[in-house]
Amino acid sequence: MSSTLQTISEIPRLFPRPADANKGQFGRVLIVAGSRGMSGAAILCGSGALRGGAGLVRVATPASIQPIVASGNPCYMTVPLPEDAEGRAGHAAAGELVALAGASNSVVVGPGLGKSATLPDLLLAILSQTTVPLVLDADALNSLAGRATDLRLHHGPVVITPHPGEFARLLDCDIAAVQADRKRLAARFAEAHHAIVVLKGQGTVVTDGRRIAVNETGNPGMATGGTGDVLAGLVAALLGQGLEPFAAARLAVHLHGLAGDLGRADKGETSLIATDLLDYLPRAFLAHTAAPYSV
């Protein structure tokens, strides 16, 4: 790990939108997500990208669940992918995904894709054949266990968003070891693999191996299924709007936690669910825009 690791405290911001703005100026985001029984992950991720301000969002998902995903939000487009017998994205999807990624400003791969023998090859094709900014989450990270060096094949920004269990699998260690040394391990991995690491949990760590930030928003009510899917979509939306990758990850984590805090204030921690974050993200953006700049 670099001996000059810089601690960052300020929160980035988006530039104000010009009066003559059009949707093409705010990013084309591709979400590769979902499988049979996991359509919600694709819906939450796509909706997180929309709430993050993406101009156009396209959700690529296995054909059998495409109608379900399409009905989850009328504001994104969907693409049906060839699938295997278990309803997960199949080998034949690789070429289409590379083409779709090449026409996008940012891409999320992972939420709800399932643990299949196909996924490592699909991810490898996207990593090695595109340069688009990538956000890798959930099953995409699990597919990298034992092959994290594949991240270095991508000649564009990569943001990974593991929870401690996923990060432990990437490092081939146990969760306790991750939790005991979160900042150092995240920074060392980021530097070694040329990635932005968003290590989720209390005090989410964001680092590129040179800079490090510890998030101060969020609460235990967010420890519920689907909140990470919303975050992945939000990171991609900010990347698609042109934020520098470390700044995009930092702002996304802050706003995601702030939405959770606003939701807790109205609903309490026990009943907070992932769709609440989508409802409170607009208020989080407003609160962040109105707040003084931190220096």
Assess if residue 273 is contained within a domain.
yes
Q: Write out the chain in H/E/C secondary structure.
A: CCCCCEECCCCCCCCCCCCCCCHHHHCEEEEECCCCCCHHHHHHHHHHHHHCCCCEEEEEEEHHHHHHHHHHCCCCEEEEECECCCCCECHHHHHHHHHHHHCCCEEEECCCCCCCCCHHHHHHHHHHHCCCCEEECCHHHHCCCCCHHHHHHCCCCEEECCCHHHHHHHHCCCHHHHHHCHHHHHHHHHHHHCCEEEECCCCCEEECCCEEEECCCCCHHHCCCCHHHHHHHHHHHHHHCCCCHHHHHHHHHHHHHHHHHHHHHHHCCCCCCHHHHHHHHHHHHHHHHHCCCCC
Give 15's pLDDT tier (boundaries 50, 70, 90): confident
Assess if residue 1 is contained within a domain.
no
Tens of pLDDT along 204-250?
Answer: 999 999 999 999 999 999 999 999 999 999 999 999 999 999 999 99
| pTM of this structure | 0.96
Assess if residue 13 is contained within a domain.
no
What pLDDT score does 198 carry?
Answer: 98
CATH number, position 252: 3.40.1190.20
Assess if residue 207 is contained within a domain.
yes
Q: What is the mean pLDDT of residues 192-198?
A: 97
Q: Which residue reads 């191996």 in tokens? A: 209
Assess if residue 30 is contained within a domain.
yes
Give 1's pLDDT tier (boundaries 50, 70, 90): low
What pLDDT score does 294 carry?
Answer: 40
Q: Is the pLDDT of residue 293 over 80?
A: no
Q: What does residue 249 show for φ and ψ, rounded to 5 degrees?
A: -65, -45
Assess if residue 46 is contained within a domain.
yes
Q: Is the pLDDT of residue 71 over 90?
A: yes
Q: Is the pLDDT of residue 178 over 70?
A: yes
Query: Which two three-digit tokens encode residue 227?
Result: 């909140």
Domain that holds residue 129: 22-287
Assess if residue 17 is contained within a domain.
no
Assess if residue 211 is contained within a domain.
yes
Q: Is the pLDDT of residue 22 over 70?
A: yes
Q: What is the mean pLDDT of residues 270-291?
A: 95
Q: What is the mean pLDDT of residues 24-51?
A: 98
Q: Name the least confident of 11-15, 108-112, 171-175, 234-238.
A: 11-15
Q: How many domains does the chain have?
A: 1
Per-residue b or e along 175-186, where b marks 16 or more CB atoms closer than 10 Å to that residue's CB: eeebeeebbebb
Q: Which amino acid is at 103?
A: A
Tens of pLDDT along 45-70?
Answer: 999 999 999 999 999 999 999 999 99
Contact 156, 177 (CB under 8 A): no
What pLDDT score does 295 carry?
Answer: 29
What pLDDT score does 2 carry?
Answer: 53
